């Protein structure tokens, strides 16, 4: 009996994974830093909580807008390359065929086989062949602005919930400490999940996310304690 063979690859996750990891880490770290800084200044618990909520709302919207603009710019560039390549295919198809053949030769095919492959792929879909093998574009890796924006905003919100809930439930005199501990654990989880989704060892994501996060929160707490409630 023959069994269907299906390999799971990680490259098709890069678009949403990048936006999700960036959003979650930013949600945890930026809101935690805000909350810790304000809490360390001696502000009232209501002010600390309001700061966290404001940071969540503004941060999620900012992340969504920024991610959309960034990825849309990439999509515009990709589209411009496709338009240019389509024009070249119409203007000089023989040159484009030779160009595609040479690409396959450089990848290890014999000139005869490379030419045959180039001809068949050109007959099937010339633009798709050139987009994939000459420009490096594919449907899997194509920029998707709306998906990236939604993933970024949602993951930011999920990440920001951890420090906000920690600030809400903890006593005022240890709020900064509790938020720091909870946020550090959340960063470790986020780093581990991103490594797992990306197919790399868990410790890599955990270490690189957590160390930077702890340093950022410590600096923010120090600044908040210096200025006090007069700022």
pLDDT at site 9: 45
101/107 Cα distance (integer angstroms)? 10
224/231 Cα distance (integer angstroms)? 9
pLDDT at site 162: 94
pLDDT at site 229: 47
pLDDT at site 52: 92
pLDDT at site 76: 86
pLDDT at site 38: 87
**Which sequence spans correspond to the domains of the chain?**
14-76+146-225, 83-135
- Residues 149-164: pLDDT tens digits? 888 888 899 999 999 9
Q: Which residues of the chain have pLDDT under 70?
A: 1-19, 138-143, 197-198, 227-231
13/175 Cα distance (integer angstroms)? 37
- pTM, two decimals, is 0.70
Where helices occur in 92-138 by DSSP H, the ranges are: 93-106, 111-130
Give percent helix, percent strand, percent coil of the chain, each to the nearest 5: 85, 0, 15
- Residues 112-166: pLDDT tens digits? 999 999 999 898 888 888 888 888 776 655 667 888 888 888 889 999 999 999 9
């Amino acid at each position: 009996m023959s069994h269907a063979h299906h390999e799971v690859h990680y490259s098709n996750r890069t678009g949403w994974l990048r936006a999700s990891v960036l959003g979650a880490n930013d949600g945890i770290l930026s809101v935690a830093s805000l909350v810790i800084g304000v809490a360390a200044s001696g502000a009232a618990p209501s002010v600390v909580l309001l700061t966290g909520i404001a940071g969540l709302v503004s941060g999620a919207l900012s992340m969504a807008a920024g991610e959309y603009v960034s990825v849309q710019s990439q999509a515009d560039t990709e589209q411009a390359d496709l338009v240019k390549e389509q024009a070249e295919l119409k203007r000089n198809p023989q040159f484009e065929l030779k160009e595609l053949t040479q690409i396959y030769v450089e990848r290890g095919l014999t000139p005869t086989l490379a030419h045959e492959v180039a001809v068949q792929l050109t007959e099937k879909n010339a633009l798709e062949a050139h987009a994939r093998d000459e420009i490096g574009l594919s449907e899997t890796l194509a920029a998707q602005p709306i998906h990236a924006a939604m993933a970024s905003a949602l993951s930011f919100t999920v990440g920001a919930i951890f420090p906000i809930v920690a600030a809400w439930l903890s006593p005022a005199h240890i709020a900064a400490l509790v938020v720091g501990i909870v946020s550090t654990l959340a960063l470790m989880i986020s780093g581990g999940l991103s490594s797992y989704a990306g197919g790399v060892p868990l410790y890599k994501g955990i270490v690189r996310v957590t160390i930077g996060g702890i340093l950022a929160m410590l600096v923010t707490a120090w600044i908040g304690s210096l200025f006090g409630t007069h700022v």
